[in-house]
Amino acid sequence: MGLLKVSVIFLLSLITMTLAEPPGCKIRITDRGLEMLKAETKRFVEGELSNITMPEMRGKEGRFQYTIKDVKITELNLTSDLRFQPDVGLLFEVQNSSITLNFQRRILYWLFYDEGAINASAEGVNIFTVLHLIKDQDGRLKISNITCNAFITKMRARFSGTLGRVYDFIGTLLTTGMRFVLNKQICPALNHAALVLVNQLLETVPVRTEVNSYVGIDYSLLNDPVVTETSLDMDFRGMFYDLKNENDTLVNNAVNPVLREYDRMVYLALSEYFFDSGLYSYFKGGLFQTQIANERMPKDLEMLLRTTYLGKIMMLDPAFMEHPLSLELEVTSPPRSTIKTSGAMVAVNCNVKVLVLPPGKPAVQLSSLTMEGNFNAELIPLQGPLKTMLQISAVPLINNYIKRGVQIPLPDGMDFIEEVVEYHNGYIIVGANLHFRTGLREIIERKLSGETDNSV
């Protein structure tokens, strides 16, 4: 019975794995990419800690009465690290750092009254923060929780003013209270930074968005990110759809891209399905059909047509040689891509009509035929006049849409640079480095003000 139960569980697990939807797009952020984020993260955290506000403190010790107010953090000297936390998310750690503060004092001792500034330093500042990363209900990367521990080893105060030396002995009393209050403020500030501000930044990542007025793209996460000591991997649906019929989508039967590299900051893998769903959506939208005539007719295409159909034109009417030609082209089925280690190809099937356009008279058909061809990504001319005609006419029609580009699933203000493309069987991998067009804080502030960066 026990063996049967184990076998059933194994079978169900195998079926679940088999039925799981493969991603059309994968992104890997490596520890090299995380290294670049360290400086931005440190700068962002310093900005959040600098904004800490502390309440006014009042107290009495023997004949001393004191008030402390207007507490401001004037300097942070943080030694920090950012790294992956396996199976969880990210770890941000601050060790043996210092924070300099300035605040105003009012002290009454017997009949003596004194006020002035106090400069204090918190030393041995240690912060341990873990960000838990998940896929939310909309398929977006999100920080679901933050684990934070912060403590300050010691705090010192330096007094100024008439009775500065007299008050040095009550410094321990004041700094103990300040250390306690500051300790209590650090983690709430970081909680707000992560759960509110950073999550707002993650909301700028496109999940289901319009590419143009014809098609959209679905970049929703299929599952929670996979985090190891050296990388963070995310599986996205990577599917285009027709905006007029969003439920008419292509089934993903492509291979699951495999990422093995770690040398660059980020890797983007795109399967054949990513491209095929785009071609399918444009086809379903009725965009792969056109008429090429008059000023839209390229000179090389016109010359090819006149050469190919010279005999037919002369048989019909030699006067037709002076009249413009027209090429009507309609892609009859969704183009399909094939990606191999040798490169990428696109298969296209078309109906092609060639007509002559006598002025003031109905068009005269010279030819009607069905054509098919495979074109590589570098658009190398194929042999034969008919395939060359398809190359000149059909490929620009398709490229007119698919080469306009789409936004990749990165937050606003972040770009790929120094890209390198590798071809594999069934998918391509783009290795790149990351670049911030602006700082993390500036990106978030722009998001809060309602601005959007559309330059990706």
Q: What is the pLDDT tens value at each position of the chain, 456 positions in all?
A: 555 444 544 444 444 444 578 999 999 999 988 888 888 888 888 888 888 877 777 777 667 777 778 888 888 899 999 999 999 999 999 999 998 888 877 777 676 677 777 788 888 999 999 999 999 998 999 999 999 999 888 888 766 555 555 556 566 666 777 777 788 888 999 998 888 888 888 887 778 888 888 888 898 999 999 999 999 999 999 999 999 998 888 889 889 999 998 888 989 899 999 989 988 988 888 877 778 888 877 888 888 888 888 888 888 888 888 888 888 888 888 888 888 998 888 888 888 888 888 888 898 888 887 877 776 654 433 333 334 444 444 444 444 544 445 556 666 666 777 888 889 999 989 888 877 766 666 766 666 565 544 433
Please choose, from the candidates 227, 177, 225, the residue with its C-alpha nearest in 3D space to the C-alpha of residue 202: 225
Q: Residue 240, class by beta-carbon neighbours within 10 Å (0-12 exposed, 13-18 middle, 19+ buried)?
A: buried
pLDDT score of 402: 47
DSSP string for 230-272: SEEEEEE--EEEETTBTT------SPPP-----SSSEEEEEEH
pLDDT score of 307: 84
Three-class SS state of 103: strand
Please choose, from the candidates 128, 121, 129, 124, the residue with its C-alpha nearest in 3D space to the C-alpha of residue 75: 121
Please choose, from the candidates 401, 321, 384, 411, the residue with its C-alpha nearest in 3D space to the C-alpha of residue 358: 321
Which conformational region is residue 89 in: left (phi greater than 0), alpha (psi within -120 to 50 degrees), or beta?
left
Task: Report d(CA 198, CA 329) in Å as an integer.
Answer: 49
Cβ distance 250 to 273 under 8 Å?
Answer: yes
pLDDT score of 393: 40
Task: Report d(CA 325, CA 316) in Å as an integer.
Answer: 14
Query: Residue written as tokens 């109905």?
Result: 362
Q: Where are the alpha helices (DSSP H) in 309-353?
A: 310-316
Task: Report d(CA 39, CA 37) in Å as an integer.
Answer: 6
Residue 7 corresponds to which amino acid?
S
Task: Report d(CA 8, CA 222) in Å as an integer.
Answer: 25
Cβ distance 22 to 238 under 8 Å?
Answer: no
List the structure tokens of 318. 């030699």
Task: Report d(CA 313, CA 141) in Å as an integer.
Answer: 62
Query: Residue written as tokens 């005539």?
Result: 293
Residue 114 corresponds to which amino acid?
D
Task: Report d(CA 446, CA 452) in Å as an integer.
Answer: 7
pLDDT score of 258: 92
Q: Where are the alpha helices (DSSP H) in 235-384?
A: 272-284, 299-308, 310-316
pLDDT score of 382: 30
